[in-house]
Amino acid sequence: MSPRYTDLQLDALRELANIASGTAATALSQMLAREVELNVPRALALPLADAVEAAGAPGETVSGVVIPLEGDIEGLVLLLIPLDSAETLCRLLGVEAGSEVGDSALSEIGNILGTSYLNALAAMTGLALGPCPPHLSTDLLGAIVASVLAATAGEAEMALVMDSELDVAGEPCSMSFLLLPTAGGAGDLLAPLGLAETAA
Amino acid sequence: MGELKVSRARDGELVAIGLGSCIGLAVVDGSACVAGLAHVVLPDSQGVNGPAAKFADTAIPEMMASLRTVGASKSRCRAVLVGGARMFALSGGLDIGARNDAAVREALALEGIEMLAAATGGNRGRTVRVMVGTGEVLVQEAGGDNFTLLGPRRPDARHARPIRQLKLTGAET
């Protein structure tokens, strides 16, 4: 059965995403020594194809960093960095974009964002949550997001997407950060909030 | 993801942008100038209700039924597969792309549909375009080449055409 989410549940998830991505933005800001702005996070329950569209243009080339979750919740976090933003990030960190070191730096950004996001989420919910090592692929956005969704939400009709947009101030640099729990994982995230019951 | 379209528009083009582990399943009836394209996400429906084209086992019967409505004849239909890549080498993760590839081939064999060409596997995303009028199938690999996976229909060469199978790896060819 496909889970459905009530407005109350989505509001609660949005608030979790808001606080957790605020923590992640602070971590990125410290790493880059730049101000990082956080746009209003979203929590969306969407059919799979729409979830891909919500993440961006499927034909755009992006760097995607996947960080599978370890602990009480099944799912993964996905950091999507457009090509020009990836170049900016590498420049800010003093490494060459597109090189092995550049890719490693992007993975590390994913790791730091993911860890701080998950730590904040764990603190709020009391769940044990941690990141697995990151995996990077620079490819078509559609290929990255659809493959990740197939693995997490594949059998359900609806995917839960919690995303936030991070902008590095004064630089042409933005990225989106997505938490993609499995259908079961979303329920586990809502349970500590007393909102586990899914709508009929 | 899970979409299916068939067309008999001579100037039509069916496109699936950004296939990763998913399979773009193209089926063409060159003589009737009709074609279909499905975006298959997972290998096995396991009895789950969902869009039929989302699962390999249910996508092929659905494709053939839809193609019949636009005038295709099953005996003339030929299939082409694109996608099934492994985008991330996740430890312990199952290779959904390879399982999709195998499941679609098996379902085609079960239905008795010949597969003419495939650009599957590897670790790059792909975009597939099917030219409805000519039966051409064009593939674009992320960061790589554009190539013609299936050429335009030539009635005299139809039965002589060898099965062409491109197993693509990450390397450019």
ipTM for the complex?
0.86
The pair of structure tokens assigned to A181 is: 């729990």
Q: How confident is the model at residue B139 (pLDDT cuts 50, 70, 90)?
A: very high
Quick one: pLDDT at residue B163? 42
Buried/exposed code over A131-140 (b: 16+ C-beta within 10 A; e: otherwise)? bbebbbbbbb
A98 part of contact set with chain B, CB < 8 Å: no
Q: Measure the CA–CA gap between A59 and B18, rounded to whole angstroms.
A: 6
Quick one: pLDDT at residue B129? 95
Q: Using DSSP, how many helices (H) and how many strands (E) does chain A show?
A: 6, 8
Nearest to A151 among B17, B85, B93 (CB): B93
Domain-located, residue B29: yes
**Domain total for chain B?**
1
Q: Measure the CA–CA gap between A29 and A17, rounded to whole angstroms.
A: 18
The tens digit of pLDDT for each residue in A45-102 reads 998 888 998 999 999 999 999 999 999 988 999 999 999 999 999 999 999 999 999 9
* Nearest chain A Cα distance for residue B50, angstroms: 7
The pair of structure tokens assigned to A44 is: 């969306």
Domain-located, residue B41: yes
Where do the H-state alpha helices sit in B96-143? 96-111
CA distances from A20 to A120, A121, A156, B125 (A): 5, 6, 25, 31
B50 part of contact set with chain A, CB < 8 Å: yes
Instruction: Please tell me the pTM assigned to this model.
Output: 0.88
The pair of structure tokens assigned to B138 is: 């064009």
Q: Which position has the token pair 């496909």?
A: A2
Contact assessment for residue A85 and residue A28, using Cβ atoms and an 8 Å cutoff: no
* Residue A135 to residue B19, Cβ atoms within 8 A: no
Nearest to A140 among B2, B41, B125 (CB): B125
Residue B62, CB half-sphere, CA atoms under 13 Å: how many? 22
Residue A196 has pLDDT above 80, yes or no: no
Q: Which residue of A has its CA nearest to B49?
A: A1
Buried/exposed code over B115-151 (b: 16+ C-beta within 10 A; e: otherwise)? bbbbbbbbbbbbbbbbbbbbbbbbbbbbebeeeebbe
Report strand pairing: A174-181 vs A158-168.
antiparallel
Quick one: pLDDT at residue B117? 95
Q: How confident is the model at residue A190 (pLDDT cuts 50, 70, 90)?
A: confident
Contact assessment for residue B81 and residue B104, using Cβ atoms and an 8 Å cutoff: yes
Instruction: Give B-chain residues touching A66 at CB under 8 angstroms.
Output: 88, 90
Quick one: pLDDT at residue B167? 36
Residue B72's domain comprises: 4-168
B97 part of contact set with chain A, CB < 8 Å: yes
Q: What's the CA angle centered on B70, arms B28 and B108, to 5 degrees?
A: 40
Across the A:B interface, residue pairs with CB atoms under 8 Å apart total 102
A4 part of contact set with chain B, CB < 8 Å: no
Q: How confident is the model at residue B48 (pLDDT cuts 50, 70, 90)?
A: confident
Report chain A's mean pLDDT, rounded to a whole number: 90
Nearest to B41 among A58, A138, A150 (CB): A150
* Nearest chain B Cα distance for residue A47, angstroms: 9
Closest CA to A117 of A187, A174, A189, A64: A189
Contact assessment for residue B108 and residue B102, using Cβ atoms and an 8 Å cutoff: no
* Nearest chain A Cα distance for residue B166, angstroms: 19
Q: Measure the CA–CA gap between B108 and B37, rounded to whole angstroms.
A: 14
* Residue A139 to residue B91, Cβ atoms within 8 A: no
Output the CA torsion sign for A140, B121, B97, A79.
Answer: negative
Domain-located, residue B173: no
Residues 6+ apart with CB under 8 A from A125: A16, A189, A192, A193
B21 part of contact set with chain A, CB < 8 Å: yes
CA distances from A13 to A9, A21, A112, B1 (A): 6, 12, 21, 25
What is the residue-wise DSSP string for A30-65? HHHTS-EEEPPPEEEEEEHHHHHHHH--TTSEEEEE
**Polymer length of chain A:** 200
Nearest to B2 among A49, A66, A139 (CB): A49
Instruction: Find the helix or strand (DSSP H, E) in which A184 lies.
Output: helix A183-190
The tens digit of pLDDT for each residue in A116-134 reads 999 999 999 999 999 999 9
* Nearest chain B Cα distance for residue A35, angstroms: 31
* Nearest chain A Cα distance for residue B53, angstroms: 12
Q: Measure the CA–CA gap between A88 and A102, rounded to whole angstroms.
A: 11
* Residue B18 to residue A142, Cβ atoms within 8 A: yes
Q: What is the CATH number of the domain that holds B32?
A: 3.30.1330.200
Contact assessment for residue B126 and residue B101, using Cβ atoms and an 8 Å cutoff: no
The pair of structure tokens assigned to B116 is: 């003419």
B135 - beta bridge partners? Answer: none
The tens digit of pLDDT for each residue in B50-100 reads 889 999 999 999 999 999 999 999 999 999 999 999 999 775 556 899 999
Q: Which residue of B has its CA nearest to A46?
A: B1
Residues 6+ apart with CB under 8 A from B37: B4, B5, B6, B14, B15, B16, B24, B25, B26, B27, B128, B130
Instruction: Give B-chain residues touching A157 at CB under 8 angstroms.
Output: 50
Quick one: pLDDT at residue B168? 33
- Preferred mutation among A140, A152, A157, A180 to probe B, highest tally of B CBs within 10 A: A140
